[in-house]
Every structure is written in C-alpha cells, then in structure tokens.
Amino acid sequence: MLIFPRRSRIVFVGDSITDADRDRSALPGGWGFGQGYVNHLHNMLTAVYPDKDLMTVNSGNSGDDIMQMAQRWEDDVLDLEPDFISVMIGVNDAWRHFDGTLRQAAVHEPDEFEEVYDGLLDLTRARLPKLQGIIVMSPFMFEANRDEAMRVKVEAFSRASQCVAEKHHAIFVDVQAEVDHFLTRQHPCIASADRVHPNERGAMIVAHSWLRSVGFEWERSAFDD
C-alpha cells in the first residue's frame, strides 16, 4: 500500500540526477519537474493515484555535493514544509575524488559526508515536527565492474547513506541494486552516456526502485485507502 496519505507534499532534493534540468521559474508542485526520475514519479503517482492529490516538488541542484546541498537546505527543504522528503546525494562527493584536483574542488570522505547528512536530518526532524517520513536514495553508477575505482567510492558513500537512513528510521532505496539488475542484461550506454547521469530509460530505473520502496501498486481494487 502506498505510504503517502492524501494531499501529502513530497519534496525531492539532491544533485543533477534529481534536478534533471528542472524549471526554476515553476511554482512548487505546479510544473517544471525536469526530465529525470522526479518527472516520472510525478506522472505515475498522479496517473495511478488521482484520488491522493499528491504534491511533488523538485528541489534538486546540479553539481551539488553534501556540503552544497546543506547550504541550501533551508530554502530547498525546510521552507517548503514537506510531509515527506526524498534525498539522493553522494555521487558528486565520490566523483570529486577523481576530478577534484582539476576542478580545484573540495573533497569529502564518507565519514564527514555521513556526519553532515545526519545533521541535516536531525535539523529537519526538529524544525518540521509534522514530518511524516524520510526516503534516502543511494547514489549509484551504471558500472558493472564493482572493482572499478569510482564504483568502489560510490559504494562507500552509499553505505554512509544507508547508515544515516537506519539511524533515522528512514526508507532506504537501494538504487544501485536496481541498476545492477539492469546491467546483468544491458550495457550501461543504454541507460547513461557517462555512467552517472541517466537518460530517460535510466531515469525510469531510478523511479522504479523508488516506487517499489513506497508501496506503489499499478492495480488497485478501489480508491478506499
């Protein structure tokens, strides 16, 4: 059964995978969901659960790591007073270990990432006492070789995300597991040109993993829940 009560406001926050070229001129919940998994989720929740009147808001920001996301948390999450938040962050924190010198970017380790993430969720619980739930999505790569250096680093940030989810009794969405299932049959280029940013097919894989975790059901006997 879908976990969201009627008229729930769900705010999605994260990096470019969440952002996906969203329209920043859009009113929250009105339009401008981007071209990624948030748009897929908005469409499926609206089409299959029209009686729920769910509001979806995309607060993703391309390029964000955990520190940059934290700087905008007030505007992107708290000020929107969500009933549920869904967070996916970490792939840029991993990526900066490989291009940080060229970009002259700050590099963060998984333990620092986990500490900041934990603090954000503590703050959210304190500021939003009516918050009904948190969904933590793992960072991921379309890379089948689990020994590849960046895939190893992404896994480290995924484990840190899972630890935060467990501490806060949040739903943990193992997106990488869904991606790995896809990669047993298909090449990464089918879903992502650079192994990180999903195309529309890749975004549907991400969306499917999220829907499985929140009790989405295609077939419903009645609108009585």
Do residues 46 and 2 make contact, with C-beta atoms less than 8 angstroms apart? no
Cβ-Cβ contacts under 8 Å for 47 (sequence gap 6 or more): none
**Which among 75, 79, 122, 194 is annotated as catalytic?**
194
Residues 6+ apart with CB under 8 A from 201: 190, 191
Choose the catalytic residue: 8, 16, 158, 192: 16
Tell me if residue 194 is catalytic. yes
Please state, in angstroms and rounded to a whole number, the distance separating the CA atoms of residues 133 and 135. Answer: 7
Residue among 52, 107, 165, 3 at smallest CA distance from 175: 165
Given the residues 197, 208, 209, 213, select the one marked as catalytic: 197
Task: Identify the residue whose tokens are 């894989």.
Answer: 205
59 is an active site residue: no
For the question of residue 97 being annotated catalytic, the response is no
Active-site positions read 16, 194, 197
